[in-house]
Structure 1
Amino acid sequence: MSQKPWLLHYPKEVPPTYSYPKQNLADFLIQSAEKYPGHKALHFLGKELTYAELLEGAYRFARVIRKLGVSRGDRVAIMLPNCPQLVMAYYGTLLAGGVVVMTNPLYVPRELEHQLKDSGAAVILTLDLLFKRVQSVVPATSVRHVIITSIKDYLPFPKNLLYPLKVKKDGMSREVNYGETVHSFLKLMRAASGSPVHTEVDAENDLALLQYTGGTTGVSKGVMLTHYNVIVNTVQNSLWSYKTKHGEERYLAALPFFHVFGLTVLMNQAVMLAGTLLLIPKFEVDQILQVIDKMKPTVFPGAPTMYIALINHPDIHKYDLSSINICVSGAAPLPQEVQTRFEEITGGRLIEGYGLTESSPVTHANNIWENRKLGSIGIPFPDTEAKIVHPETGEELPVGEIGELAVHGPQIMKGYWNNLAETNRTLRGGWLHTGDMARMDEDGYFYIMDRMKDIIIAGGYNIYPREIEEVLFEHPGIEEAAVMGVPDKYRGETVKAFVVLKGGASVTETELEKWCRERLAAYKVPHLYEFRDSLPKTLAGKVLRRKLIEDDPAQQGRVVK
């Protein structure tokens, strides 16, 4: 490990180590607004805001929450889709010295209550459409103030007038009971001063984010990310994408900002580089194609499911996608077939990276313009180390052997909020033990096999779902696939494949079994197939294996690891 073989494969433009600024994370916004005040910062369904306007909005929000009693270190929850209000509130909270708690708008009351209680959030900003859900859990939490905004607040004319009509037609309620603890975002912002607000922070120790894990494998945990953690990872991503230019890039922001991938690789990086964020509140493939064709984004980080939806769209040839230069795929494994096809269509580069909420999130990525290895997550970022260890003993394993991936670097979390036991289990000797099974080749490229908890053990063999999913994705009739283990009386577990076919395709179980037997060892071939119209996913595009288990009658009573 002391040799760090991956450094031999760094582009000459990327430094292996770097001196990162120790400042308030929101200083990125101040610096870009000072240098590019009139440059377009946000484009939201036709509405545009400059960097000067965005910074003023952040200053106003900082004054709003201070007036509501938020002081340094207090937590502020933001429960919004991608919209201007989210960006203002995020940087405004940081400027006021608060800690941001990004909250998924799809959370049901039970999930929302857990996060608000656990974080101790004092204020929550959310949509009028979500008011009843939020209000139902507030009494059980420490939330003192609820701030309500609406999608229409930052829509251009006439969309702002048409929006309420559409909501009513769709049967959704925008009714809000305003009062002493429930406030209108627009009224508060109009009454607040836009003069500068800035809190000096101890960047390496003060929290910028309390970012909750997805909860797809158990109870959601609050990851403590400092200002320095997030600054480091934002800069690391920028160094890796060394051809990006200040004040010139246009970022297609379809990844939700409440997910740490979208937060760092999209919002923080775009603001640091004074790029334009094309805000997409909800991923809809037709809209995405229209935005790319019209707005000409140059950078499009996403999840594999987004690229899959695009390349399988029947009318994709009608749109000009040639503006796209860089795409970084994360949140789930990227099938090689999808990568190859997307690059053929756009002419841009689509690479796979890797990260976790606990690492702000990115630790590895493939080279964008230089040599890369398909199927690999690439090599560690600057100032980042990685190794493969025995999952039980922690002993480092030789090159080529499969074990648990452990990473070390300045972007690694401070720990889990109010959870010392989990912190000590995950952070050992300064190394983050990821829970992902992987291997490293002789060049220092890493390959994720699967989550330890997703490995299928059938008849004593370890089977990695990703390997089987790659084979299924190669089938011309398959659009999406997910593989998991199901109970089996003889083998302990056996392999089951959940498959979504491409439009118009007709494929039988017998055909799929033959396809797999020609490409996989016999013990890896799925014994069961289930054809579905879609797979359950998080908004970040990660397949919810727990939901697949819950939906499968054959697995009722199975313990979810």
Structure 2
Amino acid sequence: MDVNRPWYAFYPKGVPVNIELPHICLYDLLARTAREYPEQLAVIDGEKNVTYAELQRIVDRFAAVLYRLGLRKGDRIAVMLPNCLEYIVSYYAIQRLVGILVQVNPMYQQSELAYLLEDSEATAFIGHREQKQKLALIGWDAKLTLIFVEGASHEGEYGYYEEIAAVSSKPPSVEIDPREDIAVLRDGWLYTGDIATMDEEGYFYIVGRKKEMIIASGYNIFPIEVEEVIYQHPAVAEACVFGIPDPYRGETVMAVIVPKNEMPVTEKEIIDWCSARLAKYKVPRSVEFRDRMPKTAVGKILRRSLVEEVVAKQKSVGRTE
């Protein structure tokens, strides 16, 4: 048995441990399917029935639209659409252009949308007109090439179907480098940023994200380790742990907690609780209590938003002293 890959021992007989992956992009999979099964149904969206051959033609035309609007290989294009034909066409057209798809949940509100657009450095936006107000309120309506499914109504906007109807069906010619544009691998490994442990049978357990790891006085601390201990406290409803800048330790551990209703708890009580259950360097040095946590539309705590708030508060205090 390979000691570095113990899971090989559990593969059924005849299953290869290695396979050759073709150097193709996602659009190539659509093109291949359209060649082999042109009349097979690809999409059913309400009353719309689209075959693979039809889907490829629409995708090629929309890729030509994006190219004509100035979008090029490597550009980040935000798509804020639900599951629908327009989303599928946008997805594959961006792959055809070798652009970078920025997935935006249609349920996102202003703060979530602003963060994602800023963080991704998006240059274009594809969505429904109802999202225009959100873009305007966060100051992004003038920064993006806007494409709306319902059509254009103002200068600087483009209509999804209007542009597809007007453009040549000839798709853009984009050179693809398999190593640079397709394979996100280093020495055969895909780097996701997750940190995991492996047991003796080859089962992996995700313990955190590399970018969320706290480095305090040279020690590596995973927030989830500390959060799991805090959640064991009977008065804690929600907890989020992260690192904040520290001039001596590099970073120091901080916890933000939402207490359970009518259950009083103090900072000292939480710190003492952690001290009895964690190594000293993992124990939070400060604890902040809140009524609620900032969250995404699907209920995930926005750790980065908390970090930014605390750091901004630290800087503000430093300026007034």
Relative to the length of structure 2, the TM-score reads: 0.65
**Aligned-residue offset at 1:67:** 5.6
Change in Cα spacing, 1:27 to 1:61, as seen in structure 2 (3 Å) is closer
SS at match of 2:239: strand
Which residue identity does 1:467 align to in structure 2? E
1:177 to partner: Cα distance: 0.8
Tell me which amino acid in the other structure corresponds to 2:243: G
2:118 is matched with which residue: 90, 93, 111? 111
What SS is found at the alignment partner of 2:142? helix
2:78 is matched with 79
Alignment of 1:233-248 (within 5 A): none
Equivalent in 107, 132, 142 of residue 136 of structure 1: 142
Quote the Cα distance in structure 1 between the aligned partners of 2:274 and 2:21: 48
1:508 paired residue among 237, 261, 265: 265
In structure 2, the residue matched to 1:328 is none
Does the CA-based 8 Å contact 2:62-2:164 persist in structure 1?
yes
2:75–2:122: 8 Å Cα contact kept in structure 1? no
Match for residue 230 of structure 2 among 462, 467, 472: 472
Q: CA deviation at 1:82?
A: 3.6
Q: CA 1:63/1:498 → structure 2, altered by over 3 Å: closer, same or farther?
A: same
Per-residue deviation at 1:19?
2.9
Native 8 Å contact 1:23 1:202 kept in 2: no
Which residue is equivalent to 2:91?
Answer: 90
Residue equivalent to 1:60 = 58
Check the 8 A contact 1:38/1:50 in 2, yes or no. yes
Matches of 1:21 and 1:512, distance apart in 2: 53
1:34 aligns with 2:11: no
Q: Counterparts in 2 of 1:75-474, with a 5 A limit?
A: 77-83=76-82, 84=84, 85-94=86-95, 97-103=96-102, 106-107=113-114, 111=118, 114-116=121-123, 125-128=126-129, 129-130=131-132, 132=136, 133-137=139-143, 146-150=146-150, 176-178=153-155, 182-190=157-165, 204-205=178-179, 225-226=181-182, 229=183, 408-409=187-188, 412=190, 441-445=199-203, 448=207, 451=210, 454-457=213-216, 462-474=220-232
Q: How far apart, in 2, do the equivalents of 1:110 and 1:201 lie?
A: 27
Q: Distance in 2 between matches of 1:196 and 1:5?
A: 47
Q: What residue is the counterpart of 1:499 in the other structure?
A: 257
SS at the partner of 2:148?
A: strand
The alignment status of 1:519 with 2:298, answered yes or no, reads no
CA contact (8 A) 1:497 1:526 kept: yes
Contact preservation (8 Å) 1:468, 1:483: yes
- State the Cα distance separating 1:186 from its structure 2 match: 2.7
Whether the aligned pair in 1 keeps the contact of 2:208 and 2:222 (CA below 8 Å) is yes
Deviations 1:97-155 (A, max 9, x none): 41223236513698289443xxxxxx6534433365555225xxxx6xx43225xx9xx
Given residue 204 of structure 1, which amino acid in structure 2 is its aligned partner? P
Contact 1:55 1:88 in 2 (8 A): no
SS at match of 1:499: strand
Superposed CA offset, 1:388-438 (max 9, x none): xxxxxxxxxxxxxxxxxxx6426x4xxxxxxxxxxxxxxxxxxx6x77766
How many equivalent pairs are there? 295
With over 3 angstroms needed to count, the CA separation of the structure-2 counterparts of 1:149 and 1:438, relative to structure 1, is same
- Superposed CA RMSD: 4.8
1:555 aligns to 2:314 (yes or no): yes
Deviation at 1:536, TM superposition (A): 3.5
SS of aligned partner of 2:224: helix
Give the drift of 1:481: 2.0
Greater Cα radius of gyration, structure 1 or 2? 2
User: What corresponds to 1:305 in structure 2?
Assistant: none
1:467, distance to aligned residue in structure 2 (A): 1.0
Name the structure 2 match of 1:211. Answer: none
Distance in 2 of aligned mates of 1:501 and 1:50: 51
TM-score, length of structure 1 as denominator length: 0.41
Native 8 Å contact 2:60 2:171 kept in 1? yes
Structure 2: stretches of 5+ with no match in the other structure: 105-112
* Structure 1 residues 81 and 66, CA gap change in structure 2 (3 angstroms): closer
Q: Which letter maps to 1:455?
A: I
Q: 1:484 to 1:183 in 2, by over 3 A?
A: closer
Contact 2:214–2:252 (CA under 8 A) maintained in structure 1: no
One-letter code aligned to 2:154: N
Question: Aligned in 2, Cα 1:468/1:51: closer, same or farther, shift over 3 Å?
Answer: farther
Question: Are the equivalent residues in 1 in contact too, given 2:80–2:126 (CA < 8 A)?
Answer: no
Identity across the alignment (%)? 29
Look up the SS of the partner of 2:178 in the other structure: coil
Alpha-carbon deviation of 1:468? 0.6
C-alpha distance in 2 between matches for 1:468 and 1:48: 51
Contact 1:112 1:137 (8 Å CA) reproduced:
no
Check conservation: 1:61, 1:92, Cα contact below 8 A.
yes
Q: 1:532 aligns with which of 290, 298, 305?
A: 290
Decide whether the 8 Å contact of 2:78 with 2:126 is kept in 1: yes
Deviation at 1:89, TM superposition (A): 1.3
Aligned to 2:107: none
Q: Quote the offset at 1:25 in angstroms.
A: 1.5
